[in-house]
Amino acid sequence: MKNLRDKLSGLFWLIVAVFVCLESARAGTGAFHNPGPGFLPFCSAVILGTFAIILIVKSILEREEALNFVDLWKGINWIKVILVIILLLIYAILLPSLGYLIMTFALMVFLFGVLGRPKLWVQIMAAFITSLVTYLIFYAWLQVQLPKGIFGF
């Protein structure tokens, strides 16, 4: 498996560069002596694309890398990483409708249990204290307008 990491990422960046070039052209690159809104992103995308091609070519020509793509994902708790990412995305999406306190409490109950297995009541108590204390500090003291949600808190 020859430098699959660089090949894959190079290909990804090449696609991004082509996409940005098209978008920049749509915004209007203007003329060389009078650049338009799309000029800088277009030039940057050309640079990105050029280096992406160099990276792909280099990864094809170079010797096999010591650490291959599969090794990167070996022996790691990637299920926990995906779980945390999903929890965070759910939090961000539901935060405006369910409000800070409910969402933070629910998130913390899960997060305190991700690395280790404390008793459920410990998780719930820790989550309750964390969400309440941060609510008091940020909402009551620092007057950050935390989302109230449909329940009004």
Partner 1 sequence: MHKGENVVDFLNSLFYGFSIGLQPDNILFCFLGCLLGTLVGVLPGIGPVGAISILLPATFRMSPISAIIMLSGIYYGAMYGGSTTSILVNIPGEAASVVTCLDGYEMAKRGRAGPALGIAAFGSFIAGTLGVLGLMLFAAPLAEFGLKFGPPEYFGVVLLGLTLIAYLSQGSVIKALMMGAFGIILSCIGLDHMQASPRMTFNIMKLWDGIGLVPLAMGLFGISEILINIEKTRFTEILKTKIKNLFPTALDWMQAKGAIVRGSILGFFAGILPGGGAVVSSLLSYGLEKRLSKTPERFGKGAIEGVAGPESANNSAVSGSFVPLLTLGIPPNVVMAVLLGAFIIHGIRPGPLLLKDHPDLFWGVISSMYIGNVMLLILNLPLIPVWVQVLKVPYRILFPLILLFCLIGAYSINNSSFDVLVMIIFGIVGYLFRKFDYEGAPLILAFVLGPMVELNLRQSLIVSKGNFLIFITRPISAVAIVLSIILLITSFLPYFNKKR
Using CB under 8 A as the criterion, which residues of the chain lie in contact with partner 1 when the complex forms? 5-6, 8-9, 13, 16, 20, 23-24, 27-28, 31, 33-41, 44-45, 47-48, 51-52, 54-55, 58, 72, 75-78, 80-81, 84-85, 88-89, 91-93, 95-96, 104, 107-108, 111-112, 114-116, 118, 126, 130, 134, 138, 142-147
Beta carbons of 101 and 131 less than 8 angstroms apart: yes
Measured from the CB atom, is 142 or 150 closer to partner 1?
Answer: 142
CB of 119 to partner 1, least distance (A): 13
Measured in whole angstroms, how far is the alpha carbon of residue 65 from the centre of its chain? 27
Q: Which amino acid is at 44?
A: S
CB of 23 to partner 1, least distance (A): 5
CB of 72 to partner 1, least distance (A): 6
Distance CA 46, CA 62 (A): 24
3-class state of residue 30 by DSSP: strand
Cβ neighbours of residue 132 closer than 8 Å, sequence gap 6 or more: 101
Measured from the CB atom, is 2 or 58 closer to partner 1?
Answer: 58
Measured from the CB atom, is 124 or 134 closer to partner 1?
Answer: 134
Tell me 42's DSSP state: H
Beta carbons of 100 and 135 less than 8 angstroms apart: yes
CB of 127 to partner 1, least distance (A): 8
User: Hey, which residues does 31 pair with through a beta bridge?
Assistant: 34
